[in-house]
Structure formats: C-alpha cells, structure tokens
C-alpha cells in the first residue's frame, strides 16, 4: 500500500486560533497524505478563510451541525482507503502517514490511534495524560468486558483515530444523533470489524479544557461524562461538557 493512500479529515468549528500551528505541522508531514480535508461545522470566525488560504487543505462546509456529521461528511468526500480523523488542536508526528500505513497493514485491526499528551504553552498535563492512557483499557474492561476480551479499547478524538474507510462505512459511520462521545460509540461498533489498538507514538493535543476548568474540575467532568455514557445515559451529555475554544 502506498503512503499516498492516506487521507486526513479535520472537523473544525471556530478554530482560527489553532489552525496556523496545525497547518504548519501538516505541511511538515513526510510523506504527505494523499488528501487533507477540513470540514467546517458553521464557524463564525476566520477558520474557513485560514484553512482555505493555506493551499494545503480542501475545505468543505457540512450541511449538518455536529462533529459526528462533520466526520461522516469528510470521510464520504475522500477517496483514500485509509483515513485519520484529526482534531484541529492536535499535532501529529512528522511520520504519521507511515505510522498509519504500517499499523493498518495488520488485517486484525479495525481502528487505531496515537497516544495523546496534553500540553499547553507552559506545561504538560502529565496526570490527565496518564489518566487518559489508563482509560483506554480500564473503561472497556469495566463497562464492556465482553468487548474488551475481543480487543475492544476506548479511544477518543484526541487520539487522532484512524481506520480503513471500508470498515467505517460498513458500520454506518458516526452516529449523528450523538452530540458527544461519537468517537467512543464508533469504537463500540468498529470492534465488530476487528481489534482496536493504541499505538505507542505520541500526538500533542491542546490542554485548553484543563487550562480553562482546572485539573480537578476537568478530570471530574471527564469521569462524569464517561461513567454516564458507559451506563447507557448517552443523550444530553453535552450539558455536562462546556465548550472551550
């Protein structure tokens, strides 16, 4: 499989502050992906203009609000067989395309993601990053042990999740009725197609939520939302998860 068989899909909403740094990192990827698509969910800032002016990214406007719809729209628009969904505040390693390609050469895998390290301008959030790492295993073990034994792991958007487009389409993509945790829900459905793997390579993701809420409140929010979702209380979770830009 060629490195030119990888597409990157970036769902974005009011990400003008994060986009310049993201675009610099995307330009440094070696090898470059075949496609980079940014899917705007109705930004009111200069996100569309910044992404479009880069010459690197094809910008699409999603007709339906919500990150799940944006992801579906982006995956439906690319032709590459391998797709990475990248948040606008997450930075890939320079060789990410090669990592994605090598990882998905394993036919037993249906989904994989990088290891996120939450970081800000002046600090690294080691405690929250460690908790996120541990949650990959303990959350499915506690709430879905039968899927854990089949290779189920819990990944989120900050992991820069990647998969084969054919597998994504086979499970119906992301559930657009979910305003939150669409990534975790995708894990539950993709595990029917194969195992889920956390790759031992780091992506740097913004600590903006931890910075805004404080470490204790942030981890309490993450835990509360995660437990409610694990217990099947999936509607209205966005009320417990304030937006931060």
pLDDT in tens, 78-91: 999 999 999 999 99
Whether the bond between 92 and the residue before it is cis, its omega within 30 degrees of 0, is: no
pLDDT confidence band for 3 (50 / 70 / 90): very low
pLDDT confidence band for 8 (50 / 70 / 90): very high
Q: Give the CA dihedral 60, 164, 193, 62, nearest 10 degrees.
A: 0
225 pLDDT above the threshold of 90: no
Q: Which of 36-50, 135-149, 206-220 has the highest mean pLDDT?
A: 36-50
- Residue 240 confidence (pLDDT): 64
Task: Please give the mean pLDDT across all residues of the chain.
Answer: 91
The H-assigned helical ranges of the chain are: 19-27, 47-53, 67-77, 96-103, 126-143, 145-149, 165-170, 182-190, 208-213, 215-230
pLDDT in tens, 20-37: 999 999 999 999 999 999
pTM: 0.91
Average pLDDT over residues 178-205: 93
What single-letter DSSP state applies at residue 11? Answer: E
Please report, for residues 111, 121, 138, 152, 196, the alpha-carbon distance to residue 155 in angstroms, rounded to integers and kept in the order given: 9, 25, 12, 10, 8
- Residue 220 confidence (pLDDT): 83
119 pLDDT above the threshold of 70: yes
Percent over 70 (pLDDT), the chain:
96
pLDDT confidence band for 198 (50 / 70 / 90): very high
pLDDT confidence band for 245 (50 / 70 / 90): low
Check residues 235 and 62 and name the one with the higher pLDDT. 62
Distance CA 170, CA 149 (A): 22
């Amino acid at each position: 499989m060629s490195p030119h068989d990888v597409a990157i899909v970036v769902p974005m909403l009011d990400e003008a502050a994060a986009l310049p740094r993201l675009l610099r990192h995307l330009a440094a990827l070696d090898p470059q992906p075949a496609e980079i698509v940014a899917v705007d969910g109705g930004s009111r800032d200069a996100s569309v203009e910044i992404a479009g002016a880069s010459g690197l990214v094809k910008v699409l406007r999603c007709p339906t609000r919500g990150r799940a719809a944006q992801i579906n729209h982006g995956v439906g628009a690319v032709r590459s067989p391998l797709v990475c969904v990248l948040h606008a505040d997450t930075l890939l390693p320079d060789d990410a395309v090669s990592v994605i390609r090598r990882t998905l050469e394993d036919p037993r895998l249906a989904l994989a993601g990088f290891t996120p390290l939450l970081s800000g301008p002046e600090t690294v959030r080691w405690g929250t990053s460690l908790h996120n790492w541990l949650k990959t295993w303990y959350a499915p073990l506690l709430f879905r042990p039968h899927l854990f034994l089949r290779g189920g792991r819990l990944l989120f958007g900050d992991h820069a999740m990647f998969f084969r487009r054919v597998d994504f389409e086979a499970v119906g993509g992301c559930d657009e009725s979910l305003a939150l945790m669409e990534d975790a829900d995708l894990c539950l459905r993709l595990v029917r197609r194969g195992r889920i793997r956390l790759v031992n390579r780091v992506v740097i993701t913004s600590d903006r939520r931890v910075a805004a809420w404080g470490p204790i409140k942030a981890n309490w929010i993450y835990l509360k939302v995660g437990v409610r979702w694990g217990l099947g209380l999936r509607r209205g979770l966005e009320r417990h998860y304030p937006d931060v830009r």
